[in-house]
Structure 1
Amino acid sequence: MLTYFRGATARHHHFMAVAISLAQATLFSKPSILLHRKAINGFSFSIPFSSSSAQKIQTHKWRQPVVSVLELGGVKVGRDGVMEGVRVFFPGDWETSGMDGTSYAAEDLKKCLEGNVEMRWIDTYFPFTNPSFELEIYFQEKWLEVLGCGVTEQEILQKSGKTGNVARAFGLGLEPLAMVLFGIPDIRLFWSTDERFTSQYPPCYKDMSFWINESFTENNLCEVVRGVAGDLVEEVQLINNFTNKKRMTSQCYRIAYRSMERSLTDSEINELQWNVREQVQSKLKVVLRLDF
C-alpha cells in the first residue's frame, strides 16, 4: 500500500506528540540529497500511545517544499496531516524473543522495510535514533538511497513520559524516487518557481581535502557547507579516501555550486568556498590540505 501525503495543517488527534526541531536538518535525509535547508521550520511526529496518555497536537505551519512520506507494510506514515513514522514496543514484546529491546526494534524495523529487490543496509548517524540505518536499493547499475531509519533515542521517549519502552522510526521522501523515475536532475526543482522546470545555469565545482578525526561524519560536513552556502549548494560528494602508514585518513570532497535562477560569478564562488573551508576547519576540527 502506498499513501501520498502532503503536510499542510495538522488536525487534532489523540496521540502523544514528540517534537523535533529541524531548523538545520531534515528528517532522515542523506546530506548529498541536499534538501532545502530552510524548507521546514519544525516537525512533529506522533507515537500512537493509549488514549489515556494522549495529548492534543497543535496546528503546524509548513513552508515549501512540502514533505512527502509513504505508508509501507501496514505502517501508517501519513494521516490527516500528522506524520506517524514511529512504532512503540513494550517489554512484553521483546522479552519472549530472547533479544534486548533495541535489537528487537531494529530487527522488526528491517523486516518491515525489506522487499523483493536487491538492497543493502548502511550504518549511519541521525541525531534522534541509535542505531541508525540507511536503506539502499540497486537501480540502473548503482546504489540509490531511499530512506533513513533507526531505533528512537531513549531521551525522546523519556521526555514523553514513556520509560521502559523502545520505539523505532523511519522517514521516506518521494522526491528522490521521483527524480529517478522521471529524470529530474535536481531536487530543488520540485519547489522552483521557474515554469521551465530546468536550469540553464551550469554548476561550479570546488574540491576540498582534509585529514579527518574520529568524530568526523559526512552529515556534519554537509550541515556546515549548507550553513554557509545555503541553496547554492547542489551536491557534496566524496571523491577520494585514503589512509596513510600512520593510520591517518584523508578525504576529498567535491562541492557543486549552482543557482536555479542566475549565473554564479567566480568571485562569489571563491568567497563561498573560502568561508566553507574556514567553517569546516573551525567546527569539525579537521586539518585542511589542498583546495583545488
Structure 2
Amino acid sequence: MWKIAKELKKAGVVGINARNAGYIMPLNQRKFYPLVDDKRQTKELAIKAGLEIPELYAVIEYQWQIKNFQKLVAGHETFVIKPARGSQGDGITVIDQRTKNGWRKVGGSIISDNDVSYYLSNILSGMYSLANQPDVALVEYRVNFDPVFSKITYKGVPDIRVVVYRGVPAMAMLRLPTKESDGKANLHKGGIGAGVDIKTGITTTAVQHDKVVELHPDTNLPVANLQIPNWEKILYISALSAELSHLGYLGVDIVLDENLGPLILELNARPGLAIQIANRMGFAARFHQIDLALPNLETLEEKLAFVAQL
C-alpha cells in the first residue's frame, strides 16, 4: 500500500488530508461558506452578478406550506425539488410529469402526493442538510440539457465541474448520469466522470467507480473527444464565481441548457478529488503552475488567458 501512496504522491495526486490542510483551510474562510453551502444564497449571489441560474419556482420554509404544494407548482409539470443545504446530490428529486396517481419521477417511478409531502417534511427537518440542521426546500426549473450530450447520458442532466484554484480555472470534468446512478450526475452514486482538456473543452479519459472506461455503460458509445459547447463562457463563469464567493479552492457546477446555455447549478467549498483520476493528473503540479504565474495575473481576463496556456 505504501508503494501505491508513494507513486500517487510522485504523480502529484492530492489526497483528502492534503486537500483539507493545504487548500481548504488556508484558502477558504469559513465566514464565506454560507454563500456556497446554501443554494438559495448562491442563487442570489449569481443573480446580482448577472449570471444565469435555473429559475426558482417556489421556496418551502415551513411545514404548513407543504399542504399548498400543488398550488405552489401550478403551471409547472416538470421541475426539480432539492434541499437548500444538501450535498452530494442527496435529497434531490426530479419530477417529470403530473399523473392521476401522483408525480412521475425522471426515472419512471410514481410517487403519491402523500409521498411528496413526507419527502418535503424530511427536507425541512434537515435530513439531507450538511449538518442535519433545519433546512428549506427549493423548487426550480428542470434543465433541458444540450443535445450534444444525448448519446452519452442516461435520462438525467449532465453537468460540468470546474475546480477553480486562487481564481484560476485549474481542472474540469464532465459528469454523466447512468442507470446505476438513477439519472444523477454524482460519481459516488455510479455516474461517470470524464476529464476535460481545460484549454479546449474536449473530453478525454472517463472513469466510473475510479476505474477507466471508454464507453458509457448504458449507451455503449465513447465518452472521449466530445467538444463541450460554450467552453470559454463556462471558464468565465467559473472564474467569476470564485471572485464572488471569495473562496480560493472552489468547485463550480454548471449545466448546459438547450435553450438557455450555461447555468450555474451550485458552488462547492469542498470539491472532491476524483476529478484528478478523470484527468489522469494530480492537483499538485497544476496548482504549482498557477502559484508561479499568479503574481502576474491581476485581472479576470489575465487569469483566463493564462488558462489557455495550461
TM over 0.5: no
TM-score under structure 2 length normalisation: 0.26
Q: Which has the higher helix share?
A: 2
Q: Which structure is richer in relative contact order (CA contacts within 8 A, separation 6 or more)?
A: 2
Q: Which has the higher strand share?
A: 1
TM-score under structure 1 length normalisation: 0.28
